Amino acid sequence: MQRVEELSNGRVRIAAGTMYGATENLLKQKLIHEVPSPNEDKRRRVYLLTDAGKEVLKLEVERLKQLLLIADELL
């Protein structure tokens, strides 16, 4: 949650409940999977994209690029 806020320069803030719900959804869809936490910190959970998750992300990036092109044309 902190990293998202940092990457977005404070423009995006994610509440804990939203993050947990999104994580569970991505796990159920097999778009991410849990990996061992560095330094064996049992409180911290770490996830990586699966191959399917990477493909979905690529498709979403392309969709957003197309929307940006359309918006630029309209301006």
Q: Could you tell me the pTM of the whole model?
A: 0.79
Which residue ranges form the domains of the chain, and what is each CATH number?
Answer: 1-74 (1.10.10.10)
Q: Is 60 helix (H, G, I), strand (E, B) or coil?
A: helix
Residue 37 is predicted with a pLDDT of: 84
φ/ψ region of 35 (left if φ > 0, alpha if ψ in -120 to 50, else beta) reads: beta
pLDDT digits (tens, 9 = 90+) for 22-42: 999 999 999 999 998 887 777
59: Cα separation from own chain's centroid: 13
Euclidean distance between CA atoms 61 and 73, whole angstroms: 18
